[in-house]
Chain A
Amino acid sequence: EVQLVESGGGLVQPGSPLKLSCAASGFTFSSNWLNWIRQAPGKGLEWVASINPDGSSTYYPDTVKGRFVVSKDNAKNTGYLQMNNLRSEDTAMYYCARTPHWGQGVMVTVSS
Protein backbone atom coordinates (compact mmCIF):
# COMPACT_ATOMS: atom_id res chain seq x y z
CA GLU A 1 0.00 0.00 0.00
CA VAL A 2 1.34 3.41 -1.01
CA GLN A 3 1.74 5.79 1.91
CA LEU A 4 2.95 9.38 2.04
CA VAL A 5 3.28 10.95 5.49
CA GLU A 6 4.13 14.62 5.88
CA SER A 7 5.65 16.15 9.01
CA GLY A 8 7.39 19.29 10.18
CA GLY A 9 4.60 21.83 10.04
CA GLY A 10 3.78 24.40 12.67
CA LEU A 11 3.49 28.07 13.55
CA VAL A 12 6.38 30.30 12.50
CA GLN A 13 7.00 34.02 12.28
CA PRO A 14 7.23 35.89 8.97
CA GLY A 15 10.73 35.66 7.53
CA SER A 16 11.48 32.36 9.27
CA PRO A 17 12.48 29.07 7.62
CA LEU A 18 10.73 25.72 7.98
CA LYS A 19 11.49 22.28 6.54
CA LEU A 20 8.78 19.77 5.75
CA SER A 21 9.39 16.05 5.32
CA CYS A 22 7.46 13.45 3.34
CA ALA A 23 8.10 9.82 4.30
CA ALA A 24 7.16 7.46 1.49
CA SER A 25 6.50 3.73 1.42
CA GLY A 26 4.84 1.11 -0.75
CA PHE A 27 6.49 2.07 -4.03
CA THR A 28 9.94 2.51 -5.53
CA PHE A 29 10.68 6.01 -4.32
CA SER A 30 13.89 6.37 -6.32
CA SER A 31 12.01 5.84 -9.61
CA ASN A 32 9.30 8.42 -9.05
CA TRP A 33 8.79 12.15 -9.19
CA LEU A 34 7.72 13.80 -5.94
CA ASN A 35 5.42 16.81 -5.85
CA TRP A 36 4.28 19.33 -3.24
CA ILE A 37 0.91 21.03 -3.38
CA ARG A 38 -0.58 23.49 -0.90
CA GLN A 39 -4.05 24.68 0.00
CA ALA A 40 -4.63 27.95 1.84
CA PRO A 41 -7.55 27.89 4.30
CA GLY A 42 -10.82 27.83 2.38
CA LYS A 43 -9.04 28.03 -0.98
CA GLY A 44 -8.16 25.72 -3.86
CA LEU A 45 -5.09 23.66 -4.65
CA GLU A 46 -1.77 25.21 -5.74
CA TRP A 47 1.26 23.30 -7.02
CA VAL A 48 4.46 24.48 -5.30
CA ALA A 49 7.29 22.12 -6.26
CA SER A 50 8.31 19.03 -8.18
CA ILE A 51 11.51 16.98 -8.25
CA ASN A 52 12.52 14.30 -10.71
CA PRO A 53 13.33 10.72 -9.64
CA ASP A 54 17.08 11.11 -9.09
CA GLY A 55 16.76 14.59 -7.61
CA SER A 56 18.77 16.28 -10.31
CA SER A 57 16.01 18.61 -11.53
CA THR A 58 13.57 20.75 -9.58
CA TYR A 59 10.68 22.95 -10.62
CA TYR A 60 8.68 25.71 -8.95
CA PRO A 61 6.00 28.27 -9.77
CA ASP A 62 6.99 31.93 -9.60
CA THR A 63 5.15 32.35 -6.27
CA VAL A 64 7.79 30.33 -4.40
CA LYS A 65 10.80 30.28 -6.75
CA GLY A 66 13.92 31.46 -4.94
CA ARG A 67 12.40 30.81 -1.49
CA PHE A 68 11.44 27.10 -1.55
CA VAL A 69 13.81 24.21 -2.23
CA VAL A 70 12.58 20.67 -2.89
CA SER A 71 14.85 17.68 -2.40
CA LYS A 72 14.69 13.94 -1.91
CA ASP A 73 16.84 11.33 -0.18
CA ASN A 74 16.27 8.12 -2.11
CA ALA A 75 18.23 6.11 0.47
CA LYS A 76 15.78 7.21 3.16
CA ASN A 77 12.64 7.19 0.97
CA THR A 78 11.99 10.72 2.13
CA GLY A 79 11.29 13.98 0.37
CA TYR A 80 11.76 17.45 1.75
CA LEU A 81 10.50 20.96 1.19
CA GLN A 82 12.75 23.66 2.63
CA MET A 83 10.79 26.88 2.90
CA ASN A 84 12.70 30.10 3.51
CA ASN A 85 11.65 33.70 4.12
CA LEU A 86 8.09 32.60 4.85
CA ARG A 87 5.25 35.04 4.31
CA SER A 88 1.71 35.17 5.67
CA GLU A 89 0.44 34.12 2.24
CA ASP A 90 2.36 30.83 2.60
CA THR A 91 -0.07 29.80 5.34
CA ALA A 92 -1.62 26.59 4.06
CA MET A 93 -1.97 22.85 4.33
CA TYR A 94 0.96 21.30 2.49
CA TYR A 95 0.58 17.94 0.75
CA CYS A 96 3.18 15.73 -0.84
CA ALA A 97 1.94 13.66 -3.75
CA ARG A 98 3.07 10.99 -6.12
CA THR A 99 0.42 10.50 -8.76
CA PRO A 100 -2.23 9.39 -7.93
CA HIS A 101 -1.51 9.23 -4.20
CA TRP A 102 -1.58 12.13 -1.74
CA GLY A 103 -0.45 12.40 1.85
CA GLN A 104 -2.72 13.58 4.63
CA GLY A 105 -1.09 17.00 4.70
CA VAL A 106 0.68 19.14 7.28
CA MET A 107 -0.36 22.64 8.36
CA VAL A 108 1.97 25.60 8.12
CA THR A 109 0.92 28.87 9.73
CA VAL A 110 2.98 32.01 9.22
CA SER A 111 2.03 34.70 11.70
CA SER A 112 3.58 37.10 14.17
Chain B
Amino acid sequence: DAKTTQPTSMDCAEGRAANLPCNHSTISGNEYVYWYRQIHSQGPQYIIHGLKNNETNEMASLIITEDRKSSTLILPHATLRDTAVYYCIALYGGATNKLIFGTGTLLAIQP
Protein backbone atom coordinates (compact mmCIF):
# COMPACT_ATOMS: atom_id res chain seq x y z
CA ASP B 1 0.00 0.00 0.00
CA ALA B 2 1.21 3.48 -0.84
CA LYS B 3 2.68 5.65 1.91
CA THR B 4 0.90 8.92 2.64
CA THR B 5 2.42 12.11 4.01
CA GLN B 6 0.42 14.69 5.97
CA PRO B 7 1.37 17.79 7.96
CA THR B 8 1.60 17.15 11.66
CA SER B 9 -0.78 19.93 12.59
CA MET B 10 -2.88 22.77 11.15
CA ASP B 11 -5.06 25.57 12.44
CA CYS B 12 -8.24 26.94 10.90
CA ALA B 13 -10.61 29.68 11.99
CA GLU B 14 -14.13 28.68 12.89
CA GLY B 15 -16.51 29.20 9.97
CA ARG B 16 -13.77 29.07 7.36
CA ALA B 17 -13.01 26.18 5.02
CA ALA B 18 -10.41 23.76 6.34
CA ASN B 19 -8.18 22.32 3.61
CA LEU B 20 -6.16 19.29 4.67
CA PRO B 21 -3.47 18.14 2.23
CA CYS B 22 -2.16 14.63 1.71
CA ASN B 23 0.67 13.42 -0.50
CA HIS B 24 0.59 9.90 -1.92
CA SER B 25 3.07 10.06 -4.76
CA THR B 26 3.51 6.26 -5.04
CA ILE B 27 -0.20 5.44 -5.16
CA SER B 28 -1.12 2.76 -7.66
CA GLY B 29 -4.02 2.89 -10.06
CA ASN B 30 -6.20 0.60 -7.95
CA GLU B 31 -5.65 2.29 -4.62
CA TYR B 32 -8.33 4.49 -3.18
CA VAL B 33 -7.75 7.50 -0.94
CA TYR B 34 -9.63 7.24 2.36
CA TRP B 35 -10.09 9.87 5.04
CA TYR B 36 -11.00 9.18 8.64
CA ARG B 37 -10.91 11.43 11.66
CA GLN B 38 -10.56 10.81 15.38
CA ILE B 39 -11.99 13.25 17.85
CA HIS B 40 -10.19 13.16 21.17
CA SER B 41 -10.64 9.84 23.03
CA GLN B 42 -13.24 8.56 20.55
CA GLY B 43 -13.00 5.87 17.89
CA PRO B 44 -12.13 6.97 14.34
CA GLN B 45 -14.96 8.08 12.10
CA TYR B 46 -15.15 7.49 8.35
CA ILE B 47 -15.36 10.72 6.34
CA ILE B 48 -15.02 10.02 2.63
CA HIS B 49 -13.07 8.07 0.03
CA GLY B 50 -12.37 8.29 -3.69
CA LEU B 51 -10.39 6.80 -6.55
CA LYS B 52 -9.83 9.57 -9.09
CA ASN B 53 -12.93 11.69 -9.32
CA ASN B 54 -13.69 14.38 -6.82
CA GLU B 55 -16.18 13.28 -4.20
CA THR B 56 -18.56 15.15 -1.93
CA ASN B 57 -20.82 14.03 0.88
CA GLU B 58 -22.56 15.63 3.82
CA MET B 59 -19.34 15.87 5.79
CA ALA B 60 -16.66 16.94 3.34
CA SER B 61 -15.28 17.14 -0.19
CA LEU B 62 -12.31 15.21 -1.51
CA ILE B 63 -10.26 16.70 -4.31
CA ILE B 64 -7.78 14.33 -5.98
CA THR B 65 -5.23 15.75 -8.42
CA GLU B 66 -5.30 14.47 -11.97
CA ASP B 67 -2.03 12.57 -11.52
CA ARG B 68 -3.44 11.15 -8.23
CA LYS B 69 -0.24 11.96 -6.37
CA SER B 70 -1.95 14.19 -3.86
CA SER B 71 -5.37 15.03 -2.51
CA THR B 72 -7.11 17.59 -0.32
CA LEU B 73 -9.90 17.06 2.16
CA ILE B 74 -12.12 20.11 2.46
CA LEU B 75 -14.40 20.82 5.41
CA PRO B 76 -16.44 23.70 3.99
CA HIS B 77 -17.46 25.49 7.19
CA ALA B 78 -15.32 24.30 10.07
CA THR B 79 -16.76 24.27 13.57
CA LEU B 80 -15.11 23.68 16.93
CA ARG B 81 -16.45 20.12 16.80
CA ASP B 82 -14.23 19.46 13.77
CA THR B 83 -11.12 19.67 15.94
CA ALA B 84 -9.64 16.18 15.54
CA VAL B 85 -6.81 14.12 14.08
CA TYR B 86 -7.43 13.49 10.39
CA TYR B 87 -5.99 10.38 8.75
CA CYS B 88 -5.33 10.05 5.01
CA ILE B 89 -4.90 6.43 3.91
CA ALA B 90 -4.18 4.88 0.52
CA LEU B 91 -5.63 1.40 0.21
CA TYR B 92 -6.77 -1.13 -2.37
CA GLY B 93 -10.51 -1.26 -2.56
CA GLY B 94 -12.02 -3.81 -0.18
CA ALA B 95 -8.79 -4.39 1.74
CA THR B 96 -10.26 -3.02 4.96
CA ASN B 97 -8.13 -5.42 6.99
CA LYS B 98 -5.09 -3.52 5.72
CA LEU B 99 -6.28 -0.13 6.90
CA ILE B 100 -3.29 1.49 8.60
CA PHE B 101 -3.75 4.61 10.68
CA GLY B 102 -0.57 6.64 10.93
CA THR B 103 -0.22 9.76 13.03
CA GLY B 104 -2.38 11.99 10.80
CA THR B 105 -2.90 15.76 10.96
CA LEU B 106 -4.11 17.40 14.15
CA LEU B 107 -6.59 20.04 12.97
CA ALA B 108 -7.33 22.70 15.57
CA ILE B 109 -10.32 24.94 14.88
CA GLN B 110 -9.82 28.32 16.49
CA PRO B 111 -12.83 30.34 17.76
- A and B associate: no
A-contacting residues of B (Cβ < 8 Å)? none
B-contacting residues of A (Cβ < 8 Å)? none
